A and B are shown apart, each in its own frame.
Chain A
């Protein structure tokens, strides 16, 4: 039996963000991912009670990662790319 779906606004959460969070959800939480026009809909196997709480934690951290990425993604990209280029030119 599944819980009634958790509704997350599409304009606030990207699909990537939600899928990334579901990826790390513990194995006992069987989830179902759905959508309507305005919401992402996630329902859980009702036997485990803290799945929703787990997901919120994961979502929150991933929102922070997105925020950090906004500030630093270009530098991150540069660091990795230049490191690879350097190794390549040195080999």
Chain B
């Protein structure tokens, strides 16, 4: 539209492999997909008149190019968006994870915490620490927060959860708190189900696939983990708790060839969403890696098929949400709406959430706890509620201040920078250095391929775009 010449603002770009698409993004989080291979060259070489007029208009509307007269304004808008985004990342933690016990009735193949047998002693978080835990949460959290009980198997120490919540209702009464229990469900009882209902608690239940897959990934030496899980799912239904429950699945190597079947299996459970995730390649013996592990490419070949199947299901008329795709979609289209801890810049470490371990030690992320179990390196500990409710993360401040994506090698020029996050503990654990070599990072490869896939589908598939939009509207 404009007759004035346009100039480039600082943007980021990436040619999406195996397509003709080039994605350009700005510090304001806007993106524009260029359809011709030559477009990016013409754009950068200031031959804007060679691009389709509508593309230049779109780039101009999104402040990736600008006329001379608006240039300073656009730059100030970029800086304002970036400042707002950083400010949000620096907000107080809104996620608090608590490990009531390390005991567990499962022997999951990919379990990264040194779980304890169900009758082990000294593996429970003692209820006498609740006051300190609540003091810590009260003083560090914002008005809205989520408290997640993790494990071990948290329901093996239900007594703690019950006491914690009754005290939290007093201590945190000024705040808007939601509770989640991450569980395998096998220890669900009538009493617990009623409590979950009365206290309006959400359940995040693990289910990895059909009986064979689930039992392969999540065996139990006490019972048939799949049958019992299904029994407990019936109990949830009887208690009208289906709407309280969401499901999470972890993928191991044997499932990689069964993407479609897996998607159909989850759909057959009559649930309305599934959160499917790759393994965190942390602390496995190499034999384990060979049996259950995979590269990011291998995982994404699987996941692409999986997501296609999910989209097909949605197109046929039933809403069935893939939460992993939705997280990425939210990062792209609704900046600020998701506070997913892995996807923050600066990193979500400490600032995104805290975890209180069964022994009272406080960590800045779930991965920090896992890494501590592996290395016992003291810098990871930021507090101990058996002693006090104080926090001290001075040891982690350098890691945090080195976690701005615009300043990280490998990230600073990446087109997905506005949507991605730094994961220093992942890189510390896998590469021995919090910054890491991104070209060799599972985290980076996975995120890059995810965004490649989502943008490609968004552009090339009407069905995918339609389904993504219905999810985004939720």
Contact = CB atoms under 8 A, between A and B. Distances in A.
A64 B325 CA distance: 31
B87 A87 contact: yes
Given A23-B410, A71-B8, A91-B90, A79 B44 contact: no
A27 B10 CA distance: 30
A57 B22 CA distance: 13
Given A64-B44, A72-B10, A79-B78, A27 B87 contact: no
Contacts of A27: 439-440
Interface residues of A, number: 25
The secondary-structure label for the interface of chain A is: helix
A68 B44 contact: yes
Contacts, number: 68
Interface of B: 7-11, 13, 15, 27, 40-41, 44-46, 75, 78-80, 82-83, 86-87, 90, 406, 409-410, 413, 437-440
B405 to A, nearest CB: 11
A90 B75 contact: no
24 contacts: A23-B437, A23-B438, A25-B439, A27-B439, A57-B15, A64-B13, A67-B44, A67-B45, A72-B9, A73-B10, A75-B10, A78-B79, A79-B27, A79-B78, A79-B82, A80-B79, A80-B82, A80-B406, A82-B79, A83-B80, A86-B79, A86-B80, A86-B83, A87-B87
A82 B80 CA distance: 9
A78 B27 CA distance: 12
A76 interface: yes
A68 to B, nearest CB: 5
A72 B27 contact: no
Nearest to B74: A75
A79 B87 contact: no
Given A75-B75, A80-B27, A82-B79, 14 more contacts: A23-B409, A23-B437, A25-B439, A27-B440, A64-B41, A64-B44, A65-B13, A68-B44, A71-B7, A79-B79, A80-B82, A83-B82, A83-B86, A86-B79
B40 A64 contact: yes
Most B Cβ at <10 Å: residue of A64, A68, A87, A91: A68
Contacts of B11: 68
Interface string A14-38: 0000000001110100000000000
Contact of A84 (B44, B45, B86): B86
Contacts of A73: 10
Interface in A47-71: 57, 61, 64-65, 67-68, 71
A1 B112 CA distance: 40
B10 A79 contact: yes
